Amino acid sequence: MDVVVELMAAYKICLSFIKYDYMLRRNFLQLSSLGLYGISLSSFTSKRLGSIRKPIVISTWDAGIEANKAAWAVLKKGGRALDAVEQGVRVTESSQNCCVGLGANPDRDGYVTLDASIMDEYSNCGSVAYLERIKHPVSVARRVMEKTPHVMLVGSGAQQFAIEEGFPLEEQKLSEEAEKTYKNWLIKSEYKPVINIENSKGHGPFNPPFPGSNPLNHDTIGMIALDANGNLSGSCTTSGMAFKMRGRVGDSPIIGAGLFVDNEVGAATATGQGEDIIRIAGSHTVVELMRQGLHPEEACRKAVERIIRIKGAAKSKEIQVGFIALNKRGEYGGYCIQKGFSYAVCYADDKNFLEPGKHIL
Ligand code: GLY
């Protein structure tokens, strides 16, 4: 009888190997059939880790380095990924930069409006959009998640809720840098050329950097983390597209677009032109691709390819979109449309470094 049980177990193991091998081959064939990029099976498998790497946190752009430090302080003590991703991006929200927090560039009418989201290991999520005069939209998003029956609050309702929750209402005022950039923009008040100008300068998405600032320190910050208990969470926060139409909301507060976490599989977050990320439910797409067995990097790449397919190569050259992803094993990756995107990876006190996002165009 024991022999039969053992034979059955061996048979099951063989079957799962055959299935895994088939999945790898199928992914390889799908990638090859695109005929565009020459991905090899070995580049896919070589990134696989032998053991689970946790805790770990990754976040978009070079500003992610500072943000990761705050997240790491939580993670290294065995803290929850949710606390880490909130504390991490609050650093960027507090800093003076062009694209996150109240110091950032305004909309075309001169108002800074903020979008943010957060998601935990139980698929709880919260977000705020079009929020004005509140310094930490990510923390308001968390309160929406934890204290209301809703997922998303916007505009004056989100602000009212924030005030009721004790968040101070900040002065209605542009930062000095944003004021300068805005006045400069007002001279022509052109919308589309801003995108082109940024791209031609290699500044990624759509936010002209403040004069004299680090040109790479820009755009949305999205952060995803795996804690010591093996649980995932993510956050995303931005002031959105500079000089956007009043009322415009991007991907960052849209769960599934700017951020998605599935604690069985992995987490993903996005940066760049929100409209195109929303079109493919970008972060959800990346997580679903990981569910099918793709490495995080390959999942990000496929999502970027989908955007390029929909938009066409010519129009895709005018925009930037980047995804980063992390799976349950602590494997990570990032991909973007064009050169210039980077993301920060941290899994030890002395391991907090920038990875260049691989690009397609
Ligand atoms: N990805 C940020 C935005 O489109 O607003």
* Model pLDDT, residue 35: 36
H or E, element range at 156: helix 155-164
CB 39 within 8 A of CB 47: no
* Model pLDDT, residue 318: 86
DSSP symbols for 118-139: EE-TTS-EEEEEEE-S-S-HHH
User: Which residue's structure tokens are 């790479």?
Assistant: 216
CB 269 within 8 A of CB 324: yes
Ligand 1 pocket check for 271: Cβ under 6 Å: yes
What is the DSSP code (8-state) at residue 107?
Answer: -
Q: Which candidate, 280, 106, 286, 341, places its Cα nearest to that of 210?
A: 106
Distance of CA 45 from the midpoint of ligand 1 (Å): 32
The protein residue whose alpha carbon is closest to atom 5 in ligand 1 is: 240
Report how far residue 312's alpha carbon sits from residue 310's, in angstroms, rounded to the nearest whole number.
Answer: 6
* Model pLDDT, residue 198: 33
Q: Domain coordinates of the chain in residue numbers?
A: 2-34, 56-359
- pLDDT tens, 128-155? 999 999 999 999 999 999 999 999 999 9
- Beta partners for residue 323, in sequence order: 270, 335
* Model pLDDT, residue 219: 73
**Cβ contacts of 288 within 8 Å, gap of 6 or more:** none
Report how far residue 79's alpha carbon sits from residue 73's, in angstroms, rounded to the nearest whole number.
Answer: 9
Q: What is the CA radius of gyration of the chain?
A: 21
b/e map of 174-196 (b: 16 or more CB within 10 Å)? bbebbeebbeebeeeeeeeebbe
Report how far residue 157's alpha carbon sits from residue 178's, in angstroms, rounded to the nearest whole number.
Answer: 25
Distance of CA 49 from the midpoint of ligand 1 (Å): 32
Q: Which candidate, 132, 111, 237, 240, places its Cα nearest to that of 179?
A: 111
**Cβ contacts of 228 within 8 Å, gap of 6 or more:** 54, 55, 75, 78
What is the DSSP code (8-state) at residue 238?
Answer: E
Residue 162: pLDDT band (50, 70, 90) is very high
- The HSE-up count of residue 107 (CA atoms within 13 Å, CB side) is 18
Residue 31: pLDDT band (50, 70, 90) is very low
Report how far residue 195's alpha carbon sits from residue 12's, in angstroms, rounded to the nearest whole number.
Answer: 54
Give the nearest ligand 1 atom to 258 CA.
1
The protein residue whose alpha carbon is closest to atom 4 in ligand 1 is: 274
Q: Which of 3.90.1150.10, 3.40.190.10, 2.40.30.170, 3.60.20.30 would CATH assign to domain 56-359?
A: 3.60.20.30
Residue 48: pLDDT band (50, 70, 90) is confident
Tell me: pLDDT of 27 over 60.
no
**Ligand 1 pocket, mutate which of 92, 248, 273 (most atoms under 8 A from CB):** 273
